[in-house]
A and B are shown apart, each in its own frame.
Chain A
Amino acid sequence: MIDKLFAWFDDRLAISRGGRHLINKIFPDHWSFMIGEIALYSFVVLLATGVFLTLYFVPSAHDTIYHGVYRPLQGQKVSEAYASTIDLSFSVRGGLLMRQMHHWAANIFVGSIVVHMMRIFFTGAFRRPREVNWMVGATLLILAIFNGFLGYSLPDDLVSGTGIRIAFSILESVPFVGSYLAFFLFGGNYPGNGSIIPRFFILHVLILPLLILGLIGAHLGMLVRHKHTQFRGRGAREDNVVGTPLWPGFVAKTTGFLFLIAGATALLGALVQINPIWMYGQYRPYEVSYAVQPDWYMGWLDGALRVMPSWEIHLPGHMVPNAFFPGVFLPGLTFTLIYLWPMLEARFTGDTAEHHLLDRPRDRPLRTAFGASVFAFYFVLFGASSTDVLANYLSLTLNFVLWAFRVLVVVVPLVVFPVTYKICKELQATPGAGQRKRFNVVVRAAAGGYAVEPAPEYPGYAHDEPEPLPVEEIDLSAIEEEDRAPAGVYRIPRQYR
């Protein structure tokens, strides 16, 4: 039956032509390659839970009187967006779970993109021919951050509403066109004509997801075209890929991974509360609460807004407001640098050759030190987004904490650079560093000098990894015929038992 069905489609779509090639696609077995998969699968979770949420969420800023199950809110005037979010959390069966899973998955989505990007950066996977895919990935990061912001702004609660107010101010700060941009997006001076929630909604559930979906397609399409990068190892060369074929090994593992991520998200959504908007209350422009902080991926921008000294540029009849520098200039510079990095590095090193074998970070100490230093800068900014909470928690003055961060944001990157560089150099000088389970022995030579060398291997200690086999050679049809393997298990030769 299935054979017939397949033949029907195959005769019309020529699946077999090229299909063999597809199931033979090789996926290298390295844990760091799974970080991108986390991003992909948390996006799947986002789509699934997000569709559920759209069935109940009302994207409207219109006032309504709340009459739901949440007692403290009874009879209060709230917006329909806020009321429907409360209702889908408390009155729709499974609604709170879906909402919390959605929020957790969003945080994991952006987080895994960032870590994935760091993996790509530190191993030099962005080099030719993958520069375009690096830029697609950077665009995905921007879109993910934007869509996360739009998403958590939708419930119209007191924390996210304050974020929208700050977004208006940042938009307004753009030279020449800022006030026009802000007025067009919001439909007038803040808070606008009530159109910001429906506009954010359509951006959040349709336009940005479509862009993200399309770019993920392009990202993976290029991945198939380029084939995977790989670390040096047994049999790995520039002109081959070593690992597990798509079918069946990778399909099984990656399907498992999808459900592991879905499961982790479900457990988080069940057990760890996130964004309890009923505790924040309805947004009102003249109200504000303590510890107003965005989701983590906006933290670096919020931190930058906080540590920025109170400078502005005043020109005759015009000004560049303070919020422009941390709110527009910094992210603009950040992503310009990210986009251009592959070309900048090629210019710097003069290396324009194709690379499919990955660098070990320690073998590129300058790049690694630079990356670590830049990352440290953003990490400090991220920390600075909780100056008030830290001051409270550590019983320090706000003044001290803010000035500490203003100093740290300069000092930490300057310290991280040479330290990382030195660590890389040390690792280079240590034989066998990073390899599996080999001790180093310091040997004193007869002349009195010292040398470090790897200890002799214990018998049976190392993994006996076989040579890679060309994937076209996979032909297990003999198994069925000879029925050597009981219960679907391949026969295990004695030496591997």
Chain B
Amino acid sequence: MPEPPAGGARGDGGAPRPVVTLESPQFQVRARRPRRAEKVAASAFVVALAGFAAFGGAYWQGANNEWLGGTLGVGFVAFGVAFVVWGKYLMPRGPFEEPRPMMAVTPDEREALVADFASRGKVAIRRRTFLLKLMGLAAGVFGVVAAFPLLRSLGPLPRKSLYKTKWRKGSYLTTIDGRRVRTSDVAVGGILTVFPEDDVGGAISQTVLIHVQEGGDIVTRPGRETWGPDGFLAFSKVCTHAGCPVGLYEELTEQLLCPCHQSLFDVRAGCWPVFGPAPRPLPQLPLYVDSAGYLRAQAGYDEPVGPGFWERGGTT
């Protein structure tokens, strides 16, 4: 691309440098009517003064947020306007230029540094390789040792904790208030968040209990013949996608919706994911109704609840 013609100001070679005087247009202000610009800037400073004073008053009086921020904001904006008018219209309009050296260094410059660096290093370091090795060893050991408190003390190792919840054989389904849930507590179409008794409010154990129909066992999948007694089903409430609580139940379609990323689970099909990003069904908690009418777990979950992780192999 052709370079635009060089400005005549630089005296390199051709055109003679123009005489710079105070009459030069670059030294004049931009404002056509400087008096008026000055008045605008002055009024802005006055408004700023008033704004700041009003902010002080509003603070003194304990005024509400609108007054506090409004006065402060008006003060700041007016203060800024004054500066901008002053700088843009009442100072030399320019333009001015400064030279810019290229960044790339000459080979000589680089050579000088590299030669110095290498020659000094040769004397100081390469003849002391034994020291160098010992230093490396000590620093390396420190690096490894320093990593322990950084990583190991921050939290426990996962071990098997991602595979387990607090649900056990015989666990009572318990509400957030700590009450044990009976079959009579949840009407048809109703939904209740339940926990094992020793982990009420637990983020991992949280389970959603749904009363799907009046009486009769519900078989969501082969092998789960006894898991849904008297029309009750229970699923982990932790979404298998990103771990949000699957909190919205669509009673008509019998579907659970995760409000975070809109994964949809078909309750009767064992909370199979029918829509959205969730890759796996919600794990089902096998239930039974004991002789006193309490809902209890036949066993814990038979798979890890919640989103996937590297060590969690295979499908369900």
* Structural contact, B94 and A243, CB atoms closer than 8 A: yes
The 8 Å CB contact of A256, one of B9, B22, B83, is B83
Is A411 among interface residues, defined by CB-CB distance under 8 A? no
The 8 Å CB contact of A290, one of B78, B203, B259, is B259
The 8 Å CB contact of A266, one of B76, B96, B193, B264, is B76
* Structural contact, A467 and B155, CB atoms closer than 8 A: no
Please tell me which stretch of B26-34, B127-135, B210-218 contacts chain A, meaning at least 4 of its Cβ atoms lie within 8 angstroms of it: B26-34
Contact flag A264-B77 (CB < 8 Å), given A270-B68, A322-B241, A478-B22: yes
* Structural contact, B279 and A321, CB atoms closer than 8 A: yes
Is B156 among interface residues, defined by CB-CB distance under 8 A? yes
User: In the docked arrangement, what's the CA distance between A291 and B104, Å?
Assistant: 53
* Structural contact, A101 and B69, CB atoms closer than 8 A: yes
- List A residues 220-271 near B (Cβ within 8 Å): 225-227, 232-245, 248-253, 255-271
Min Cβ gap A292→B in Å is 5
User: In the docked arrangement, what's the CA distance between A126 and B68, Å?
Assistant: 42
* Structural contact, A241 and B244, CB atoms closer than 8 A: no
- List A residues 166-186 near B (Cβ within 8 Å): 166, 168-170, 172-180, 182-186
Min Cβ gap A234→B in Å is 7
Indicate the member of B7, B66, B92, B312 with the most A CB atoms within 10 Å: B7
- Residue-wise, chain B 127-160 has the 8 Å CB interface mask toward A (1 for contact) of 0000000000000000000000001001111100
Contact flag A322-B158 (CB < 8 Å), given A256-B87, A260-B77: no
- Residue-wise, chain B 53-81 has the 8 Å CB interface mask toward A (1 for contact) of 00000010010011111101111111111
* Structural contact, A260 and B76, CB atoms closer than 8 A: yes
* Total A-B Cβ pairs within 8 A: 398
Is A332 among interface residues, defined by CB-CB distance under 8 A? no
Residue in A closest to B278 when the chains form the complex, CB atoms: A310
Min Cβ gap B237→A in Å is 6
Is A115 among interface residues, defined by CB-CB distance under 8 A? no
- List A residues 455-497 near B (Cβ within 8 Å): 465-476, 478-479, 484, 487, 489-493, 496-497
Is B262 among interface residues, defined by CB-CB distance under 8 A? yes
Please tell me which stretch of B114-122, B183-191, B287-295, B301-309 contacts chain A, meaning at least 4 of its Cβ atoms lie within 8 angstroms of it: B301-309
* Structural contact, A241 and B98, CB atoms closer than 8 A: yes
Is A204 among interface residues, defined by CB-CB distance under 8 A? no
The 8 Å CB contact of B84, one of A248, A253, A320, A356, is A253
Is B107 among interface residues, defined by CB-CB distance under 8 A? no
* Structural contact, A173 and B307, CB atoms closer than 8 A: yes
Q: Hey, which chain A residues are within 8 Å of B154, CB to CB?
A: 184-185, 187
Q: Hey, which chain B residues are within 8 Å of A305, CB to CB?
A: 241-242, 260-261, 277
Q: Hey, which chain B residues are within 8 Å of A184, CB to CB?
A: 151, 154-155
The 8 Å CB contact of B244, one of A249, A288, A309, is A288
Q: Hey, which chain B residues are within 8 Å of A487, CB to CB?
A: 38
Contact flag A468-B94 (CB < 8 Å), given A319-B312, A319-B314, A322-B278: yes
Q: Hey, which chain B residues are within 8 Å of A264, CB to CB?
A: 73, 77
- Residue-wise, chain A 182-219 has the 8 Å CB interface mask toward B (1 for contact) of 11111111111101000000000000000000000000
Contact flag A97-B72 (CB < 8 Å), given A188-B156, A318-B310, A399-B275: yes
- List B residues 80-106 near A (Cβ within 8 Å): 80-88, 90-104
- List A residues 135-192 near B (Cβ within 8 Å): 162, 165-166, 168-170, 172-180, 182-192
Indicate the member of B79, B92, B100 with the most A CB atoms within 10 Å: B100
* Structural contact, B92 and A94, CB atoms closer than 8 A: no
Is B178 among interface residues, defined by CB-CB distance under 8 A? no
* Structural contact, A476 and B6, CB atoms closer than 8 A: no
The 8 Å CB contact of B206, one of A258, A265, A286, is A286
Min Cβ gap A356→B in Å is 6
* Structural contact, B262 and A162, CB atoms closer than 8 A: no
* Structural contact, A490 and B92, CB atoms closer than 8 A: yes
Indicate the member of B62, B245, B309 with the most A CB atoms within 10 Å: B309
Min Cβ gap A401→B in Å is 9
* Structural contact, B4 and A402, CB atoms closer than 8 A: no
Contact flag A473-B20 (CB < 8 Å), given A260-B81, A285-B245, A310-B273: yes
User: In the docked arrangement, what's the CA distance between A243 and B100, Å?
Assistant: 13
Q: Hey, which chain B residues are within 8 Å of A251, CB to CB?
A: 87
User: In the docked arrangement, what's the CA distance between A308 and B308, Å?
Assistant: 15
Q: Hey, which chain A residues are within 8 Å of B87, CB to CB?
A: 248-253, 255-256
Q: Assuming A292-B244, A473-B96, what are 20 further A-B pairs, CB within 8 angstroms?
A: A25-B98, A96-B65, A169-B243, A169-B306, A172-B309, A188-B161, A234-B4, A234-B7, A243-B95, A262-B76, A263-B77, A263-B79, A306-B277, A318-B311, A322-B278, A323-B308, A356-B100, A468-B94, A469-B9, A471-B97
26 cross-chain CB contacts under 8 A: A129-B104, A173-B310, A179-B309, A187-B156, A188-B155, A225-B103, A235-B4, A238-B100, A249-B91, A255-B87, A256-B82, A260-B84, A268-B73, A286-B193, A288-B260, A305-B277, A310-B241, A316-B314, A321-B309, A327-B242, A388-B262, A466-B24, A468-B94, A470-B98, A479-B22, A497-B32
Closest CB pairs A-B (n = 8): A270-B69, A252-B87, A321-B308, A256-B83, A263-B76, A235-B7, A259-B80, A263-B77
Residues of A within 8 A of B (CB): 24-26, 29, 93-94, 96-97, 100-101, 128-129, 162, 165-166, 168-170, 172-180, 182-193, 195, 225-227, 232-245, 248-253, 255-271, 284-292, 302, 305-312, 314-323, 326-327, 354, 356, 387-388, 398-399, 402, 465-476, 478-479, 484, 487, 489-493, 496-497
